[in-house]
Amino acid sequence: MADAQRDAAIQQIREDVAALHGELVRYGLIVWTGGNVSGRVPGADLFVIKPSGVSYDDLRPDNMILCDLDGNVVPGTPGSERAPSSDTAAHAYVYRNMPHVGGVVHTHSTYAVAWAARGEEIPCVITAMADEFGGPIPIGPFAIIGDDSIGRGIVETLTGHRSRAVLMQNHGPFTIGVDAKDAVKAAVMVEDVARTVHVARQAGPLIPIPQEAIDSLFDRYQNVYGQSGDARR
Protein backbone atom coordinates (compact mmCIF):
# COMPACT_ATOMS: atom_id res chain seq x y z
CA MET A 1 0.00 0.00 0.00
CA ALA A 2 1.36 3.42 -0.96
CA ASP A 3 1.99 5.87 1.87
CA ALA A 4 -0.79 8.22 0.71
CA GLN A 5 -3.30 5.37 0.56
CA ARG A 6 -2.22 4.10 3.96
CA ASP A 7 -2.53 7.57 5.50
CA ALA A 8 -5.99 8.03 3.97
CA ALA A 9 -7.10 4.63 5.29
CA ILE A 10 -5.83 5.46 8.79
CA GLN A 11 -7.62 8.81 8.77
CA GLN A 12 -10.87 7.19 7.68
CA ILE A 13 -10.70 4.63 10.50
CA ARG A 14 -9.88 7.40 12.99
CA GLU A 15 -13.01 9.27 11.91
CA ASP A 16 -15.17 6.14 11.97
CA VAL A 17 -14.00 4.97 15.39
CA ALA A 18 -14.36 8.41 16.98
CA ALA A 19 -17.90 8.80 15.63
CA LEU A 20 -19.00 5.29 16.53
CA HIS A 21 -18.37 5.84 20.23
CA GLY A 22 -21.33 8.22 20.01
CA GLU A 23 -23.53 5.26 19.07
CA LEU A 24 -22.62 3.51 22.33
CA VAL A 25 -23.89 6.59 24.17
CA ARG A 26 -26.99 6.91 21.99
CA TYR A 27 -28.07 3.35 22.69
CA GLY A 28 -27.25 3.51 26.40
CA LEU A 29 -24.53 0.87 26.30
CA ILE A 30 -21.89 2.61 28.41
CA VAL A 31 -21.45 4.51 31.67
CA TRP A 32 -18.88 7.29 32.14
CA THR A 33 -15.75 6.40 30.09
CA GLY A 34 -16.25 2.60 30.07
CA GLY A 35 -16.42 0.71 26.81
CA ASN A 36 -14.44 1.02 23.61
CA VAL A 37 -14.56 0.67 19.84
CA SER A 38 -11.64 -0.24 17.61
CA GLY A 39 -11.25 -0.63 13.87
CA ARG A 40 -8.66 -2.41 11.77
CA VAL A 41 -6.90 -0.34 9.10
CA PRO A 42 -7.54 -2.12 5.78
CA GLY A 43 -4.37 -3.30 4.08
CA ALA A 44 -2.12 -2.63 7.08
CA ASP A 45 -1.21 -4.44 10.31
CA LEU A 46 -2.68 -1.59 12.35
CA PHE A 47 -5.82 -0.70 14.25
CA VAL A 48 -7.29 2.42 15.86
CA ILE A 49 -8.71 2.49 19.39
CA LYS A 50 -9.86 5.14 21.88
CA PRO A 51 -7.60 6.59 24.57
CA SER A 52 -8.10 5.38 28.14
CA GLY A 53 -10.27 7.38 30.54
CA VAL A 54 -11.14 10.21 28.14
CA SER A 55 -14.70 11.58 28.20
CA TYR A 56 -16.80 10.53 25.23
CA ASP A 57 -17.57 14.22 24.64
CA ASP A 58 -13.85 14.80 24.06
CA LEU A 59 -13.23 11.96 21.59
CA ARG A 60 -12.06 13.21 18.18
CA PRO A 61 -10.32 11.61 15.21
CA ASP A 62 -7.01 13.22 16.17
CA ASN A 63 -6.95 11.75 19.67
CA MET A 64 -7.76 8.22 18.60
CA ILE A 65 -4.69 6.01 19.02
CA LEU A 66 -2.99 4.02 16.27
CA CYS A 67 -1.58 0.66 17.37
CA ASP A 68 0.18 -2.24 15.73
CA LEU A 69 -1.24 -5.75 16.00
CA ASP A 70 0.84 -6.40 19.13
CA GLY A 71 -1.02 -3.56 20.83
CA ASN A 72 1.93 -1.16 20.76
CA VAL A 73 1.16 2.52 20.18
CA VAL A 74 2.71 3.75 16.92
CA PRO A 75 5.05 6.57 18.03
CA GLY A 76 4.86 10.00 16.46
CA THR A 77 1.24 9.62 15.36
CA PRO A 78 -1.67 11.79 16.54
CA GLY A 79 -2.81 10.71 19.99
CA SER A 80 0.36 8.70 20.68
CA GLU A 81 1.14 10.76 23.78
CA ARG A 82 -1.90 9.22 25.49
CA ALA A 83 -2.37 5.75 26.95
CA PRO A 84 -4.67 3.56 24.86
CA SER A 85 -7.75 1.80 26.20
CA SER A 86 -7.11 -0.74 28.95
CA ASP A 87 -8.61 -3.36 26.59
CA THR A 88 -6.06 -2.73 23.84
CA ALA A 89 -4.23 -6.04 24.39
CA ALA A 90 -7.53 -7.93 24.03
CA HIS A 91 -8.42 -6.14 20.79
CA ALA A 92 -4.92 -6.72 19.41
CA TYR A 93 -5.11 -10.45 20.16
CA VAL A 94 -8.41 -10.70 18.30
CA TYR A 95 -7.02 -8.91 15.24
CA ARG A 96 -3.90 -11.09 15.20
CA ASN A 97 -5.83 -14.32 15.42
CA MET A 98 -9.05 -13.53 13.51
CA PRO A 99 -7.97 -11.91 10.24
CA HIS A 100 -11.57 -11.62 9.01
CA VAL A 101 -12.42 -9.28 11.90
CA GLY A 102 -12.32 -5.58 11.11
CA GLY A 103 -13.88 -4.16 14.27
CA VAL A 104 -14.10 -4.97 17.98
CA VAL A 105 -16.38 -3.41 20.60
CA HIS A 106 -16.64 -3.77 24.36
CA THR A 107 -19.41 -2.36 26.55
CA HIS A 108 -20.78 -2.80 30.05
CA SER A 109 -24.41 -2.74 28.90
CA THR A 110 -26.73 -3.65 31.75
CA TYR A 111 -28.62 -6.73 30.65
CA ALA A 112 -25.72 -8.36 28.81
CA VAL A 113 -23.54 -7.87 31.91
CA ALA A 114 -26.29 -9.44 34.04
CA TRP A 115 -26.11 -12.63 31.94
CA ALA A 116 -22.31 -12.53 32.17
CA ALA A 117 -22.51 -12.17 35.96
CA ARG A 118 -24.46 -15.43 36.06
CA GLY A 119 -22.05 -17.11 33.65
CA GLU A 120 -25.03 -18.00 31.50
CA GLU A 121 -25.31 -17.95 27.72
CA ILE A 122 -28.31 -16.21 26.19
CA PRO A 123 -30.48 -18.90 24.57
CA CYS A 124 -31.72 -18.36 21.03
CA VAL A 125 -35.46 -18.02 21.60
CA ILE A 126 -36.37 -15.02 19.41
CA THR A 127 -36.09 -14.73 15.64
CA ALA A 128 -34.11 -11.48 15.77
CA MET A 129 -31.41 -13.37 17.65
CA ALA A 130 -31.38 -16.18 15.10
CA ASP A 131 -31.07 -13.54 12.36
CA GLU A 132 -28.20 -11.61 13.88
CA PHE A 133 -26.24 -14.22 15.85
CA GLY A 134 -27.25 -17.56 14.34
CA GLY A 135 -27.78 -19.19 17.72
CA PRO A 136 -27.11 -18.56 21.41
CA ILE A 137 -24.70 -15.91 22.60
CA PRO A 138 -21.97 -17.87 24.39
CA ILE A 139 -20.16 -17.27 27.65
CA GLY A 140 -16.40 -16.80 27.58
CA PRO A 141 -14.04 -17.54 30.49
CA PHE A 142 -13.32 -15.24 33.39
CA ALA A 143 -10.21 -13.20 32.61
CA ILE A 144 -8.43 -10.23 34.17
CA ILE A 145 -7.79 -6.97 32.30
CA GLY A 146 -4.15 -6.07 31.68
CA ASP A 147 -2.80 -8.63 29.23
CA ASP A 148 -4.22 -10.63 26.33
CA SER A 149 -6.17 -13.08 28.54
CA ILE A 150 -9.49 -11.54 27.54
CA GLY A 151 -8.51 -11.65 23.88
CA ARG A 152 -7.62 -15.33 24.17
CA GLY A 153 -11.00 -16.04 25.73
CA ILE A 154 -12.80 -14.16 22.96
CA VAL A 155 -10.98 -16.01 20.20
CA GLU A 156 -11.32 -19.44 21.84
CA THR A 157 -15.05 -18.93 22.39
CA LEU A 158 -15.99 -17.43 19.02
CA THR A 159 -13.78 -19.57 16.75
CA GLY A 160 -16.15 -21.85 14.87
CA HIS A 161 -19.19 -20.11 16.39
CA ARG A 162 -21.68 -18.07 14.35
CA SER A 163 -22.20 -15.50 17.10
CA ARG A 164 -20.48 -12.15 16.72
CA ALA A 165 -20.83 -11.59 20.46
CA VAL A 166 -19.38 -13.25 23.54
CA LEU A 167 -20.24 -12.56 27.17
CA MET A 168 -17.00 -12.70 29.13
CA GLN A 169 -17.89 -14.18 32.53
CA ASN A 170 -18.28 -11.61 35.34
CA HIS A 171 -17.30 -8.87 32.87
CA GLY A 172 -19.51 -8.19 29.89
CA PRO A 173 -20.00 -8.33 26.14
CA PHE A 174 -17.36 -8.12 23.43
CA THR A 175 -18.49 -8.06 19.82
CA ILE A 176 -16.73 -8.44 16.49
CA GLY A 177 -17.62 -7.42 12.96
CA VAL A 178 -16.39 -7.03 9.42
CA ASP A 179 -15.67 -3.42 10.37
CA ALA A 180 -16.15 -1.18 13.40
CA LYS A 181 -19.72 -0.20 12.46
CA ASP A 182 -20.71 -3.86 12.14
CA ALA A 183 -19.24 -4.61 15.58
CA VAL A 184 -21.16 -1.66 17.08
CA LYS A 185 -24.37 -2.98 15.54
CA ALA A 186 -23.69 -6.35 17.19
CA ALA A 187 -23.17 -4.58 20.54
CA VAL A 188 -26.51 -2.81 20.18
CA MET A 189 -28.26 -6.04 19.24
CA VAL A 190 -26.74 -8.15 22.01
CA GLU A 191 -28.06 -5.75 24.64
CA ASP A 192 -31.47 -5.72 22.97
CA VAL A 193 -31.78 -9.51 22.97
CA ALA A 194 -30.27 -9.80 26.48
CA ARG A 195 -33.01 -7.50 27.78
CA THR A 196 -35.84 -9.15 25.85
CA VAL A 197 -34.92 -12.71 26.81
CA HIS A 198 -34.43 -11.68 30.45
CA VAL A 199 -37.90 -10.10 30.57
CA ALA A 200 -39.47 -13.10 28.83
CA ARG A 201 -37.94 -15.53 31.31
CA GLN A 202 -39.37 -13.62 34.26
CA ALA A 203 -42.87 -14.22 32.89
CA GLY A 204 -42.56 -17.93 32.21
CA PRO A 205 -40.67 -20.71 30.44
CA LEU A 206 -38.85 -19.87 27.21
CA ILE A 207 -39.88 -21.63 23.99
CA PRO A 208 -36.83 -22.84 22.02
CA ILE A 209 -36.59 -22.30 18.27
CA PRO A 210 -35.81 -25.52 16.35
CA GLN A 211 -32.25 -25.62 15.02
CA GLU A 212 -33.39 -25.95 11.40
CA ALA A 213 -35.44 -22.77 11.78
CA ILE A 214 -32.48 -20.95 13.34
CA ASP A 215 -30.32 -22.02 10.40
CA SER A 216 -32.91 -20.85 7.87
CA LEU A 217 -33.44 -17.50 9.57
CA PHE A 218 -29.70 -16.85 9.84
CA ASP A 219 -29.08 -17.72 6.19
CA ARG A 220 -31.90 -15.48 4.98
CA TYR A 221 -30.87 -12.51 7.10
CA GLN A 222 -27.19 -12.75 6.29
CA ASN A 223 -27.54 -13.45 2.56
CA VAL A 224 -30.95 -12.25 1.33
CA TYR A 225 -32.41 -9.58 3.61
CA GLY A 226 -31.96 -5.90 2.70
CA GLN A 227 -30.81 -4.35 -0.55
CA SER A 228 -28.70 -6.31 -3.01
CA GLY A 229 -25.10 -6.57 -1.83
CA ASP A 230 -25.90 -5.01 1.54
CA ALA A 231 -26.93 -7.78 3.94
CA ARG A 232 -27.65 -7.26 7.65
CA ARG A 233 -29.41 -3.91 7.12
Residue 227 backbone zone (phi > 0: left; psi -120 to 50: alpha; other: beta): beta
Write down the catalytic residue from 16, 93, 95, 131.
131
Angle of the 88-97 helix axis to the 149-158 helix axis, nearest 10? 40
Half-sphere exposure of 161 (CA within 13 A, CB side): 20
User: Strand pairing partners for 140?
Assistant: 168
Active site residue 27: no
Indicate if 131 belongs to the active site.
Answer: yes
Burial 11-30 (b: 16+ CB within 10 A, else e): bebbbbbbbbbebbeebebb
Instruction: Quote the DSSP letter at residue 105.
Output: E
Phi-psi region of 93 (alpha: psi -120 to 50; beta: other; left: phi over 0): alpha
- Catalytic amino acids? 131, 225
